[in-house]
Amino acid sequence: MPVRNLKEATVAIRGGRTFDSHASSILFPLYQTGNFVHDAVGVDKGFSYSRVSNPTVDALEKAIAALEGTPSAICFRTGMAAITTLLLSVLKCDDHAILSDVVYGGTLRLFREVLDHLGVTGSFVDTSDAANVEAAVTPATRIILIESPGNPTLKLTDIAAVAKIAKRHSILLAVDNTFLTPVLQRPFELDADISILSTTKYIDGHNATIGGSIATQDTKLDERVRLIRKTLGTIQSPFEAWLTLQGMKTLPARLRFHCEGALRVAQWLEAHPAVKYVLYPGLDSFPQKELAERQQRGAGGLVTFELKGGAEAARLTLNHLQLCSRAESLGGLETLVTHPSTTTHADLDPELRQTLGITDGLIRVSVGLEDPEDLIADFDQAIDASRWSADKECHRPIVREGRLVHDQEQKEDHLSVVVEKR
């Protein structure tokens, strides 16, 4: 049945799936091999060497293409490998790119540490106002790369508005859609040329792999990116591709629960007296709620907030979490909580961080699929415990075997007070 007639949940499980003609296994086999035998000189079965292509990677590419609604997709060893390969495919010395100022830190570093040295320049602008994009266009601009929602402030960019500017100037528009995936945001329906995914996040969804993908309707660009991938050696490995193929089947189902849980956590945080503000596109208070509703099919699984106590309150709250994990990634089943200013965005100049709204007190939560009530209880006790810790100047957290422990007597006293209060 053609993919266009299938509903999203079906596409994620069945779309573009390659069947195993050898043994009819329900799961496509893992071709964990570096090379393939030629039947005769110049005669092969479509595969020769796994740096160029591999049947399991090919199966993942077809499945992602079905989800994206593109003729094909190209898979990479990491999300950064996808972005690097794309940019090296379309940019040469003296070319210019426009990027969102809240773009992923690795993309920013790619410009500073690699592309700048090759004579390629990048302008990082606030793409939430399309006029800034128009103003940054030069005769040398070849690509606009936006991230919406941006990380970690979840600032949105109007993709269709930027696409109009890109078309008018014959510039490619790439959207890093990692945070929403094609299930919650459809870049091609908004006139983008390229969709980028770090499959590491929601596509795999199980914190099991690292990977990336590029999809485009432009077959010439697809060919060019494949050539550069072969040259750089940035193709996905068969095993990671196989795991990702299994993980992505539940993507639409998972995202429904991620969105539901994130809204519950965001609403609870917003009502908490210790919380200064919450950024979540599903909240009425979100500054770009109208754009989120127009452009997205859901608000996503990420919630960002700041505590009134600032940096110290954020540090103590993070350290007191017992269920949620302190970790940098996002999009998996486990709830991960990040302190952007000391982790994902630590490389940025502190002044630039302030300008971008990435304050030292900011906390980003990737809401997983645990019961939201349990997550809320964890944030509740962590915020309470952090306030208690802050009150007791003399109390210093102790790290033992990589875990934070406290003076047991003091902590038990405190926790009994917290429990009584509830």
Q: How far is the CB of 88 from ligand PLP (least distance, A)?
A: 15
Q: How far is the CB of 139 from ligand PLP (least distance, A)?
A: 28
Question: Pick from 53, 54, 70, 78: which binds ligand PLP (CB under 6 A)?
Answer: 78
Nearer to ligand PLP, 166 or 214 (CB): 214
Nearer to ligand PLP, 53 or 198 (CB): 198
Tokens in use for 404? 């934070």
Minimal distance, residue 401 CB to ligand PLP, in Å? 28
Nearer to ligand PLP, 29 or 106 (CB): 106
106 touches ligand PLP (CB under 6 A) = yes
- Does 143 bind ligand PLP (CB under 6 A)? Our answer is no
From 47-55, 74-82, 264-272, 395-403, give the range in contact with ligand PLP by CB under 6 A. Answer: 74-82
- Build a one-symbol-per-residue string for 262-281: x at contacts with ligand PLP by CB under 6 A, - elsewhere: --------------------
Q: Nearest 5°: CA angle at 196, between 188 and 217?
A: 40
Binding mask 176-195 vs ligand PLP (x if CB under 6 A, - otherwise)?
Answer: x-x-----------------
Identify whether the C-beta of residue 308 lies closer than 8 Å to the C-beta of residue 381.
no
CB of 87 to ligand PLP, least distance (A): 12
104 near ligand PLP, rule: CB under 6 A: yes
Smallest gap from Cβ 267 to ligand PLP, in A, equals: 25
Rank residues 309 and 340 by Cβ distance to ligand PLP and give the closer one.
340
Whole-number minimum distance, CB 222 to ligand PLP, in Å?
20
How large is the greatest C-alpha to C-alpha distance in the chain, in angstroms? 79
Active site residues: 51, 104, 176, 201
Size of interface with ligand PLP, in residues (CB under 6 A): 13
Closer Cβ to ligand PLP, 125 or 145, answer by number: 145
198 belongs to the binding site for ligand PLP (CB under 6 A): yes
The residue (of 251 and 307) whose beta carbon lies closer to ligand PLP is 251
CA nearest neighbour of 104 among 368, 358, 365, 325: 358
Per CB under 6 A, 127 contacts ligand PLP: no
Q: Give me the 206-235 binding string for ligand PLP, x by CB under 6 A, dash otherwise.
A: ----x-x-----------------------
Least spacing, CB of residue 331 vs ligand PLP, in Å: 9
Stretch that binds ligand PLP, among 12-20, 73-81, 313-321, 368-376 (CB under 6 A): 73-81
Three-state secondary structure along the chain? CCHHHCCHHHHHHHCCCCCCCCCCCCCCCCCCCCECCCCECCECCCCCECCCCCHHHHHHHHHHHHHHCCCEEEEECCHHHHHHHHHHHHCCCCCEEEEECCCCHHHHHHHHHHHHHHCCEEEEECCCCHHHHHHHCCCCEEEEEEECCCCCCCCCCCHHHHHHHHHHCCCEEEEECCCCHHHHCCHHHHCCCEEEEECCCCCCCCCCCCCEEEEECCHHHHHHHHHHHHHHCCECCHHHHHHHHHHHHHHHHHHHHHHHHHHHHHHHHHHCCCEEEEECCCCCCCCCHHHHHHHCCCCCCEEEEEECCHHHHHHHHHHHCCCCEECCCCCCCCCEEECHHHCCCCCCCHHHHHHCCCCCCEEEEECCCCCHHHHHHHHHHHHHHHHHHHHCCCCCCEEECCEEECCHHHHHHHHHHHHHHC
Contact with ligand PLP (CB under 6 A) among 56, 89, 157, 200: 200
Binding status of residue 79 toward ligand PLP by CB under 6 A = yes
Select the residue whose beta carbon is closest to ligand PLP and give its number. Answer: 79
CB 201 to ligand PLP: min, Å: 6
Of 76-84, 280-288, 318-326, 376-384, which part binds ligand PLP (CB under 6 A)? 76-84
Structural contact between residues 191 and 160, judged by C-beta atoms closer than 8 angstroms: yes
How far apart CA 194 and CA 84 sit, in angstroms, is: 14
Burial status of residue 19 (CB atoms within 10 A of its CB: 0-12, 13-18, 19 or more) = exposed
CA-nearest of 128, 85, 127, 90 to 107 is: 85
The span of 75-83, 89-97, 167-175, 257-265 binding ligand PLP (CB under 6 A) equals 75-83
Query: Where on the chain is the footprint of ligand PLP (CB under 6 A)?
Result: 78-80, 104, 106, 147, 151, 176, 178, 198, 200, 210, 212
